[in-house]
Amino acid sequence: MQFSYSDKKRLGLYVHVPFCRSKCAYCDFNSSVPQSADIMSRYVSAVISHMESYKNIIKEYEVDSVFIGGGTPTALPKEELVRLVRAIKKIFPLSKGAEFTVEANPATVSLASLKQLRRLGVNRLSFGMQSADNRELKALSRAHTREQFIESYRLAREAKFDNINVDVMFGIPYQTYDSLLKTLRFLTRIGPEHISLYNLKIEPGTPFHNNMKAVKEVCADEEMEYAMYTAAIEYLASCGYYQYEISNFARHGFACAHNLKYWNCEEYLGFGVSAHSYFNGNRFSFIPDVRKYIPAIEDMNSSIELTADSEQLESRERMGEYIMLRFRLNDGLDPNVFFEKFGVSFEILYGGKVQKYLKNGFMIFNGGRYALTPAGMFVSNYILSDILEFEDLGAYVGNF
């Protein structure tokens, strides 16, 4: 069957760039400081070839969101990033008005590179600022200062980017309730369209984890983190940034279309090391090691397996995933939509657990939808583990 342009199915596209100028002390993302420019060029070529191999598979699709993330995509030499963007546009049919995001580190952009990306159709930038306080940035070992962020942001506006996200973290070393609000006040004054606010998690294998005791001593405790989180939600709402997801706030019309795809269980393909995909009811990801990924694609006869894991989701798993993702969103979960999707009642399956959270103020039922309150969002991992019975964490409930 032939599809006309408008009949095509929608697809998100993610490309992972696993390179950074330096490694932040808290980071467990798949990224490293590249050994040479050559490795970056070979990596970009490998990703392009990999994407090309999907040309036939995606014939019935058009791409309505692209996200080049990392790592730090802008750590690539300018010509390599441009080559990657051009290849994406050539290989994938992009729908009119598709959201096209590139993640950027404030220390790695120039006016010329931003202008070129904008000309090529990149229409959204995502800056990892994390904090507007130089002492806090230093403690995170970020590669940039507050001043460099301000300059990069100014350049992005000069390059005519009118959709900018800025990442902020809370619960980081030396940060106080007041310094977080100061960072947010600074941010709302310069006025990006979107703000992501993440809680620091100390992940195994990171320098922070290796110095856990010392790091925790200079971080807010959990009670203070909760106070910071709720104050941030209130403050951002008062400045016109509505919270649409646990960690995401946007001016009206600027919610991130690409991330919404993940949370709405829509299809997307990811390319590059560790990139995940959800396509045709199948979840899969590619191997995490750049040194294997590149030869696996360069050498047609290579025996290296590109796919790290793959699973066809059973109905119960799809249900669990849907619940987990819907409860990240302020919109929450509509039991009628759940019934339409899975043919079973949400209340019959999960009603008992949900009642407990409704009673304790972690969840509300409003406008026909179940949604987590800010208190529930702060402990969403625990609540969802409990509802979906990953493990019994019910005792945690009632801490706030």
Which residues of this protein are in contact with ligand SF4, per CB under 6 A? 20, 23-24, 27, 29, 31, 70-72, 105, 128
Closest approach of Cβ 130 to ligand SF4, in Å? 8
Closest approach of Cβ 33 to ligand SF4, in Å? 9
Contact 17, 70 (CB under 8 A): yes
Q: Given the complex with ligand SF4, which of 65 and 126 has the nearer CB atom?
A: 126
Closest approach of Cβ 141 to ligand SF4, in Å? 8
Q: Given the complex with ligand SF4, which of 34 and 70 has the nearer CB atom?
A: 70
Closest residue to ligand SF4, based on beta-carbon distance: 27
d(CA 48, CA 92): 11
d(CA 277, CA 306): 13
d(CA 148, CA 44): 27
Closest approach of Cβ 139 to ligand SF4, in Å? 13
d(CA 257, CA 180): 27
Q: Given the complex with ligand SF4, which of 71 and 320 has the nearer CB atom?
A: 71
Closest approach of Cβ 276 to ligand SF4, in Å? 16
Q: Which has the closest alpha carbon to 88: 118, 120, 113?
A: 120
> Tokens for 341?
């999707």
- Give the DSSP letter of residue 71: S
d(CA 346, CA 334): 9
Closest approach of Cβ 207 to ligand SF4, in Å? 11
Element (H, E) at 91: helix 78-91
Closest approach of Cβ 195 to ligand SF4, in Å? 17
Say which residues have a Cβ less than 8 Å from residue 331's Cβ, sequence separation at least 6. Answer: 244, 369, 371
Burial class for 268, CB neighbours closer than 10 Å (0-12, 13-18, 19+):
buried
Q: Given the complex with ligand SF4, which of 12 and 106 has the nearer CB atom?
A: 106
Pairing mode, if any, of strands 248-250 and 242-245? Answer: antiparallel
Q: Given the complex with ligand SF4, which of 17 and 372 has the nearer CB atom?
A: 17
Q: Given the complex with ligand SF4, which of 127 and 338 has the nearer CB atom?
A: 127
Q: Given the complex with ligand SF4, which of 17 and 329 has the nearer CB atom?
A: 17
